[in-house]
């Protein structure tokens, strides 16, 4: 095989194994939440299926502020959410769930404001304690 | 359900969860090139209270490295909080109300330091005692 044929074959093989979808700008959506003690937000849709979605969150109620992020996968055919990332209170995070109510990451410093799985592989923010009467903050999705 | 009740229900939903809209993510990149023992000018965090992804690299040959954190600038308290990972130290998560706090390492051997700076800005400092400057980039996505 000539050098040019080898190069062409290698290039074709690389195209077959890695399909570049093209460069574009990332989509971003930000949601603010405000959740009373003992309640959860409405289920929040993960904005893409089967692709990695960066989910960054904050809690902004002083002095219980917090921050964290995960890369989240919503597998629409299997009903799974899986994620990995880092939280201010959690440290390194990595897990998966098929059911609602599983802890993903804390959004506050008091480990009260919980980003959780929700029904239909959505997510929700729950204010699980009484330290913060009304938890508030932001969730940003980038994908 | 009457139209009025539907409106009340809609209002309750808006109260608990407000979608700010879908848009393209904003990105800004700053470069640095620091002689040993120096820091950049303070670099502003581009949003308050909202999560901001900060990714950094050192590109100087033999000292390269990278890291990323998600950061919150809580403007009213001069507070920075962050959580993330870098090549040199692994997990980085902490908070600070004072300048000079370590946030993450941007290089291979723990000399190029992203730190908190005055007015809850950030700065990059090269603490290497010798062997020339360290250069790289900081990218903010939010």
User: Helical H runs in chain A?
Assistant: 3-17
Query: Which ipTM value was assigned to this complex?
Result: 0.80
CA–CA dist A137, B3 (Å, integer): 31
Question: Which of B19, B49, B95 has the CB atom closest to A31's CB atom?
Answer: B19
CB of B142 less than 8 A from some CB of A: yes
**What chain A residue is nearest to B19 in terms of C-alpha separation?**
A31
Question: Could you report the per-residue pLDDT of B18-58, keeping only the tens digit for each?
Answer: 766 789 999 999 999 999 999 999 999 999 999 999 999 99
Percentage of chain B beyond pLDDT 90 is 77
Question: Which of A66, A89, A142 has the CB atom closest to B141's CB atom?
Answer: A142
Higher pLDDT among residues A19 and B79, named by residue: B79
B52 and A35 within 8 Å at the Cβ level: the answer is no
First to last CA, chain B: 40
Question: Could you report the per-residue pLDDT of A67-120, keeping only the tens digit for each?
Answer: 999 999 999 888 999 999 999 999 999 999 999 999 999 999 999 999 999 999
With 50 as the cut, is the pLDDT of residue B1 above it? no
Cβ contacts of residue A49 below 8 Å, gap of 6+?
A74, A75, A76
Question: Could you report the per-residue pLDDT of A14-48, keeping only the tens digit for each?
Answer: 444 555 556 778 999 999 999 999 999 999 999 99
């Amino acid at each position: 095989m000539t050098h040019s044929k080898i190069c062409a074959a290698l290039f074709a093989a690389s195209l077959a194994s890695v399909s570049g979808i093209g460069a574009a700008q990332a989509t971003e959506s930000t949601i603010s939440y405000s959740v009373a003690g003992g309640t959860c937000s409405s289920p929040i849709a993960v904005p893409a299926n089967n692709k990695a979605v960066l989910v960054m969150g904050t809690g902004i109620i002083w002095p219980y502020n917090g921050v964290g992020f995960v890369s989240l996968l919503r597998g629409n055919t299997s009903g799974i959410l899986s994620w990995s990332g880092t939280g201010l209170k959690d440290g390194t995070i990595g897990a998966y769930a098929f059911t609602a109510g599983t802890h993903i990451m804390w959004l506050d410093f008091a480990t009260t404001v919980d980003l959780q799985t929700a029904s239909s592989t959505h997510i929700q923010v729950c204010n699980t304690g009484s330290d913060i009467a009304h938890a508030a903050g932001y969730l940003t999705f980038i994908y | 359900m009457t139209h009025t009740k539907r409106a009340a229900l809609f209002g309750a939903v808006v109260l608990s969860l407000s979608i700010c809209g879908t848009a393209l993510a904003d990105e800004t990149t700053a470069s640095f090139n620091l002689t040993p023992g120096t820091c950049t000018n303070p670099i502003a965090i581009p949003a308050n209270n909202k999560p901001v992804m900060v990714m950094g690299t050192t590109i100087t040959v033999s000292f390269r490295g990278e890291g990323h954190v998600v950061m919150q600038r809580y403007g009213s308290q001069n507070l920075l909080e962050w959580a993330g990972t870098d090549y040199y130290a692994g997990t980085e998560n902490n908070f600070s109300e004072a300048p000079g706090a370590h946030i993450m390492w941007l290089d291979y051997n723990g000399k190029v330091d992203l730190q908190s700076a005055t007015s809850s800005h950030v700065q990059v400092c090269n603490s290497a005692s010798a062997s020339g400057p360290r250069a790289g980039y900081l990218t903010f996505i939010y």
